[in-house]
Every structure is written in structure tokens, then in C-alpha cells.
Amino acid sequence: MDFNRQNYTNEELVNIYRHLLLPRMIEEKMLVLLRQGKISKWFSGIGQEAISVGATMALLADEWIMPLHRNLGVFTSRQMPLHKLFMQWQGNKEGYSKGRERSFHFGTREHHICGMISHLGPQLAIADGVALAYQLRKENKVSLAFSGDGGTSEGDFHEALNVAAVWGLPVIFVIENNGYGLSTPVNEQYRCESLVDKAKGYGMEGVRIDGNNILTVFDTIKGVRDYCIREQKPYLIECMTFRMRGHEEASGTKYVPKELFEEWGRKDPIKNFEQFLTDQQVITEMQVAAIRNEFREYIDTELQQAAQAAEMIVDEAEEVRDVYAGKSGVGSLESGVKVIDTHHSPLTTNDSPLTTHDARFVDAIQSALRQSMEQHPNLVLMGQDIAEYGGAFKITEGFVEKFGKARVRNTPLCESAIVGSALGLSLEGFKSVMEMQFADFVTVGFNQIVNNLAKIHYRWGQNADVVIRMPTGGGVGAGPFHSQSNEAWFTHVPGLKVVYPATPHDAKGLLIAAINDPNPVMFFEHKALYRSISGAVPEEYYEVEIGKARLVKSGNDISVITYGAGVHWAMEYQEQHPEQSLHILDLRTLLPLDYTAIKEAVAKTGKVLLLHEDTLTGGIGGEISAWISEHCFELLDAPVMRCASLDTPIPFNMELEKNFMAKSRLGEYVQKLINY
């Protein structure tokens, strides 16, 4: 192995050696602890340390890194307290994730490290968002994300590289090519000659290097960092290496030919660099022994300190509270913003009367976005065709002229990468609103939403200040892939908030509240309501509180609990049947639910009809029905009934669609309850 000393001083070379050696010695200790049963799992990076250490040392301490399983050198090179890392790996409350995460599935804002999720690929797009934040602030910084050779097969790899190239972002993508994705060899992962060849396909530069040569890694990434900042472009680096242990210790290495261990054993990054330093008379064997003894004592001391961690005492209230960021875990209201109490009166605020004008639902959404962009200079809008074209529904028409393309960003067709980029923006204190062109397309970004956005605050205290706008619902003859009501998918996910307004007034106030909320919000907008309904909307910048239902109409016969288009179906039915008295509750927020308002609605009539456009099985109505049966049974005078759409995909033909819709059976269900 050839090392190019260049102009490094002896002190600098010894410093690099110390950074390289420490993670190896920690890992050797971890393998002992694993055999002793003191930790439950370990993903070894033995043999790959030069990549993590070289990359981290080449960056500034406040530049974000997105590591994976085998990147202990990132954590140690960022000078993280070892005893706290031990606590993390032991699952102690005093670790970085309060015992909620394993090994390297955690992050730390203090050290600018973003914790991974097991799906690997999503890390890359987060680096895009961080780099975009640097670029918007005109900071000379880069972000760096790791991928394994196996991870390059994921769609997230393609999406992240494509977005970085199209947007011209200063991101360094590092592939650790160690020959195997768990047990699958690279010849079963890809057919290109080398992974760096992929760079050209995205219009970016790339280089393939010896990942076991610490000076090569360090020098390369230092130079690439300068390039990315100077050119405002991404760069791909393929580091050739080998892991000398199993994917994780339990998986073993029987699938690896013995000769590979022998070959790569001769390329050990630490032994070779150590030999180079002694040959160059930078360091003596006695000094090497002294450093190793120093590290051994340091590791033992830190481990002893970690062993003194208190036993886990489960605090259920804390567990629930930490799912969300904000005051008491669920806070969303921004200081100084007008807050409207619309449970009974739509025009009462927390300080003064509001000036209103008649506006369509679509106009209310547009007003909320415009005023939020004016209120928050750090707010970025992202979505397909939202810039000059104004979006599929023309909601952002004219925004580019007013706010510029830096903040109103057209995206490639890659929902997962844009959700990930939104999370990356949040790491750097930006807000973002992403528009799913249709709610149906959210499936392509589902993993990022339910595993990254939703869980990140609970996992390591990092909030995700992201709103995803979801044009949803049928009634416009758009067929199975542009008309689904998929809100129930997300009400099952702790950490998300799910908002679904029915009126222009609530659409504006709730969208502003969602943007002000530090948590990820899925904001559903019914397409059929965009231009079909109007109402009084305040001109001012105001919030409607998330998590509060609205009493639409007081009645005595049946309580109809609904949201979205269902509110208008219920009102229309009431107008057509004045002889019946419906008590209509608009939920507005589906996660968290307003259980107080639900119980009041049950108590008012004793008969409850749950109405929603979503299909029956697995819809939110089933959850609410179960809650009412458990908590309000004594208030009921009849079984709780659900009126929902058919358990079929939503059809294209308008007559078939009308039959599909819950609205077509509303009268039947009301009559059943009346007659019970």
C-alpha cells in the first residue's frame, strides 16, 4: 500500500493514526462484550475504518454526515463521549436515544450526525436537503452521505443522486464497496464495471479509490469538498474495501471465500499505516505501544463509567410525550399568531375581530401558502410542476415571480428523495412544504414518511418541520390512481399529524398551523372541494388549532361524525331532510383526534354515524367506533354505524364512482339509526 506523505508534519500524521486506531480498539472491545452478553448486536466496521475516519477528518465539525452501520469512525472522529456511546449501545436511558434505538440508529445535532434507519438508502436524500440549506444560506459547506454497495441498488440511491445533480447541490456521496450486501456478492447486485461509473449517468463527476488507504481517503475527500463548494455540484466516491467480520456478528462469514480474507488481511488499513509511520520514523514501536495502552485504559475507564448508568425506569408519560416535538409534546401554536376558536364560532379570535372575504377552498390554500412564505423566510416549497406552471391545481401560480425559484422548487419525479430533502432542510432549521401532485403518489415516498419523518423525534430528539400537502379524494372521475382516500394509512403512525379540513376557512387556518408546527403534518385537501365551495375567510394570518374538532350543527336525532367532503354530504342531506335533526361534527384533525368533542357528540344524541369517503375496512371510522364502544358505551342508544365507500378500488366511470362513494348510502344509514 503506497502512502503519499505530501507536506504532512509528523504531528499531523500521528493525529490521523490515533483517529484511525481508536475505533478499531473500541470494536475489539465490543466483540468481547458481545460474547459476554453485555450488548445484543454489533455491526462491525473492522477493515473499513479508513473511510469513516478519513471522510470525517476532511470535513468541518459542523458539516452534517449521514453514516451507516459500519461508520464508528465518524462518531469517534467527531469527539463524541465514549461512555455515552457505550450507554447507547447498551440501551441505557442516558444514551443518545434514551434506550429507544440500537447501535448506530441514532443521531446528534450537537455533532452534526444524522442517524440512519435500517432502510439505508433514505440517508442519501437527507444529505441533499442539508446541502440545499447550506446553499440557500450561501454557506461554503458540504454534506456527506454513506452508502454500501448493496444500497446502490435501492431507488433512493438513484433519486438522491439525481436530485443533487439537477439542483446542483454540494453533496459528497461515498460508497463503501466491501464486496457484499450481507451475503449477496456484488456480481449479484450490479452489472456495471464499477459503481463510480454511475456518476456520469447523473451528470456528476466521480472517482474510485483505495478505501483502505487513510491518506488517499483523506486527501481525496478534502479535494472533493473544495470542488463541491467551488462548483456547487455533487460528487460520487467509490471506496474499495472489505469487511473482515460478518454483516453483523450473528450472520457469520461462511459465505466468504477464505482467500478473500487472506488478500484483504494484507491490506489492513491500520497495520499498513502503522508500518508506514514506523518506516518513515514518524513514530516508534514503543510509541505505538504507548498509544495502544493509552486507548485501552481510556476505553476501560469509559466503559466503567457507562456501567454506572442507572437501571431503566419506564416513564410511560415521557414515552408518549416524546413522540412529538413542542410544548408538552404536541404544541403547534406559534407565538403571536391569531388563533381562531371555531368549535362553535368561526370568527372569534384570541385578540380581535377579523376582516373576511368570500373565497374558494383553493384560494384559501393559496393564501395560507403565500402568507406563510412572507412570514417565514426559511420556508421552502417543493413539488412537481409547482414553479412556473403553478402546480397541477394552479395553487402556487405566481409564486415563482414573488418568491423566486430558490424557494419555489420544481422537483424531479422522485417523491422519496424530496421527502428526504425536506427532512434534511429541517436539520438545518428550515421549514418546507412538499406537494404530492396527487395523494395517491405518496406510496413512492411512504418509507421516508413513516420511518424517517415520523420517528425521528422519538428516536433522538430531532424534529421534522415538514408539511406534505395531499390533494385527495374522488368525485372528479379520475380513476383508481388519482382519487384514493388514503388518510387512514397515516393515522396509524405515531409522530405524524394528519389534518383534513372541510371549509375554506379551516383550510387556511389549519395549513398555517401545520406550517408553524415543528412536527411532520400530512395535510389532506379534497380536490373536489377546491373550486366547488366558497366561504368567509379572514384576510389576516391566523391559525386554527390542530387537534380540535368543529361543531358544524347542533341536532337531536343522530350525531354524524365526519370530515372533508363528508361534512358537505351531511349538510346537504340535512337540508334535504329538515324533518330529521342531525348533530354534525367535523373532526378536521384525524391524528390526534379530539376525543372530548367526540364524546360530547355521542352524549348529545346517543346515536352515532361515522361517515367518511375512505373505504370501510381499515378506515378511521373503525378506530373511532372502537373508542366510542370502549369509552362511551353507557351513552349509546344504538350500535355505532359506519357509512363508508365500497371496499373496491375507486372506479373511473362516473356512475360507478357515484355508486362507490359513501354518499350514495348515507340516507340508508341515517334511516337505520332513526328507526333503531
- Would you please indicate which residues are annotated as catalytic (active-site) residues? 482
Q: Are 624 and 614 in contact (CB under 8 A)?
A: no
User: For residues 575 and 553, what is the distance between their CA atoms, to the nearest angstrom?
Assistant: 12
Nearest-10 Cα torsion for 665, 666, 670, 675: -10
Q: CB–CB of 242/262 below 8 Å?
A: no
- Closest to 65 in 3D by CA, of 145, 134, 131: 145
Q: Cβ(96)–Cβ(84) under 8 Å?
A: yes
Neighbour-count burial of 327, counting CB atoms closer than 10 A to its CB (0-12 exposed, 13-18 middle, 19+ buried)? exposed
Compute the distance between CA of residue 137 and CA of residue 192 in angstroms, rounded to an integer.
38
Residue 60's contacts (CB-CB under 8 Å, 6 or more residues apart) are 141
Q: Cα separation of 475 and 659, whole Å?
A: 11
Angle at 359 between CA 354 and CA 360, to 5 degrees: 140
Q: Cell 391524528 identifies what position?
A: 591
Tell me how far the alpha carbon of residue 542 is from its chain's centroid. 27
Report d(CA 379, CA 19) in Å as an integer: 39
- DSSP letter at 450 equals I
Residue 499, CA atoms < 13 Å, CB-side half-sphere: 29
